[in-house]
């Protein structure tokens, strides 16, 4: 009997659900939160950006942070999810994986997923459904998992 997992995620919240048979309902396994992805950039940085002087010494301006802090937190959460999926795949916890994720976050998941997990991905849906019920998420997936 093949076990299918469904990862429903956005940059700050994820649900892992399981289907024990091809047409069965989705059963929640785990919910994960990454509240840092919802914070404002100003809350993520410890202080204000530095100030710099123009070469001629006349003007002063604020320096910007090199990387968007929210984006960095989103990538950090994607990596944590990919690691969880990698461990589960190595433990043979699932045979097939379906990913339903917000479009931008789906790309981040693809970027950090290892080859073994990628080989188990049976389908992807670029929709932000993580706050929906398991039944509503199930409707976005193929009839037969």
Q: How far apart are CA 99 and CA 120, in angstroms?
A: 11
Which range among 61-65, 84-88, 133-137 shows the weakest confidence by mean pLDDT?
Answer: 61-65
Residue 44 has pLDDT above 50, yes or no: no
Which range among 48-57, 91-100, 104-113 shows the weakest confidence by mean pLDDT?
Answer: 48-57
49 versus 58: which is more confidently predicted? Answer: 58
Q: Report CA dihedral (126, 128, 132, 138) to the nearest 10 degrees.
A: 0
Structure tokens given for 88: 């589960």
Q: In the structure, what pLDDT confidence band is assigned to residue 14 with cuts at 50, 70 and 90?
A: very high
pTM higher than 0.85: no
Can you give the pLDDT at residue 56? Answer: 58
Domain boundaries, the chain: 1-20+28-33+69-145
Q: How far apart are CA 125 and CA 122, in angstroms?
A: 11
3-state SS, residue 142: coil
pLDDT digits (tens, 9 = 90+) for 59-76: 655 555 555 777 899 999
Contact 8, 100 (CB under 8 A): yes
Q: If you classify domain 1-20+28-33+69-145 with CATH, what class do you get?
A: alpha beta
Strand partners, 62: 51
């Amino acid at each position: 009997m093949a076990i299918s997992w469904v990862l429903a995620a956005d940059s700050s919240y994820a649900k892992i659900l399981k289907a024990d048979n091809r047409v069965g309902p989705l059963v929640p396994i785990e919910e994960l939160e990454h509240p840092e992805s919802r914070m404002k950039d100003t809350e993520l940085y410890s202080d204000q950006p530095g100030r710099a002087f123009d070469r001629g010494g006349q003007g002063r301006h604020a320096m910007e942070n090199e990387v968007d802090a929210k984006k960095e937190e989103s990538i950090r959460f994607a990596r944590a999810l990919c690691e969880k999926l990698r461990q589960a795949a190595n433990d043979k916890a699932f045979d097939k994986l379906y990913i339903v994720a917000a479009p931008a976050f789906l790309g981040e998941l693809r970027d950090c997923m290892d080859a073994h997990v990628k080989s188990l991905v049976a389908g992807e849906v670029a929709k932000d459904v993580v706050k929906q019920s398991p039944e509503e998420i199930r409707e976005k997936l193929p009839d037969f998992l």
